[in-house]
Amino acid sequence: MTRRIFIIRHGNTFEDGTPPRRIGARTDLPLVARGREQADRLGAWFAAQPLCVGHIFSGPLLRARETAERIGAVLGKPVDGFLPWLNEIDHGPDEGRSEEDVLARVGAEAIAAWDEQAVAPPGWRADADTRIAAWRAYLSGGGGEGTDLLVTSNGAARFALPALGLPLASLKLRTGAFGEVLIDASGHAELRRWDFRP
């Protein structure tokens, strides 16, 4: 008996050509047209798979909720609610700043540590221990078979793999992409894919 957990990053919140900014828990943006297309494409992909989706959860921000609702609409399944620990992190003094400005403030090594090890740069509030414990509890609990879809943000998603002790060169998920984790009856976790975008 195997549990299958899909960790999904919400769709785009910036139009094509808009310079990227660090947007965290304090900025509640809706999906843009491309983000809605990404969510619908995710829904179509899940609908085409031989999966029995038991639960759909999201983070509390609009971008995650919209993505989850659009996936659920394609599957004909309502969203079960939101989980607070799926919320985006707080980027502190870098909230809303351009990637160039953030890099200038924290340095390339700090960004690499964030992308590769989930070590937050100075001033960011990620609550790493709490998030890792929440991921660990969710992924190890429940038992039995079934498929859950968890729609979250890039900041929150990256703590799933450290929680399971699954190393990866980059913990980053692109918008509209997901990771898939299989957990067998003994609790052994296998990373099936990461940063897959249908």
What domains, with CATH codes, occur in the chain? 3-196 (3.40.50.1240)
Query: Distances from the Cα of 190 to the Cαs of 8, 106, 115, 155, 165, in angstroms?
Result: 17, 33, 20, 21, 10
CA quadruple 95, 100, 104, 107: dihedral, nearest 10:
90
Contacts (Cβ under 8 Å, ≥6 apart) of 49 = none
The model's pTM is: 0.94
Residue 121 to residues 57, 77, 109, 118, 173: CA-CA distances in angstroms?
A: 28, 38, 9, 9, 18
Q: What's the confidence (pLDDT) of residue 11?
A: 97
Helices (H) and strands (E) in the chain, counts: 7, 6
Joined tokens for residue 62 = 């609009």
How high is the pLDDT of residue 83? 95
State whether residue 22 is helix, strand or coil: coil
How far is Cα 4 from Cα 183, in angstroms, rounded to an integer?
Answer: 6
143: left (phi over 0), alpha (psi -120 to 50) or beta: left
- When pLDDT is cut at 50, 70 and 90, the band that residue 81 belongs to is very high
Q: What is the pLDDT of residues 127-151, one digit of tens each?
A: 999 999 999 988 887 555 789 999 9
Q: pLDDT band at residue 186, thresholds of 50, 70 and 90? A: confident
Walk across the sheet containing 53-58 and list its strands.
81-82, 53-58, 146-152, 3-9, 178-183, 189-196
Please state, rounded to an integer, the average pLDDT across all residues of the chain. Answer: 92
> Looking at the predicted structure, is the pLDDT value of residue 20 above 90?
no
Share of the chain above pLDDT 70, in %: 98
Supply the pLDDT for residue 144.
59
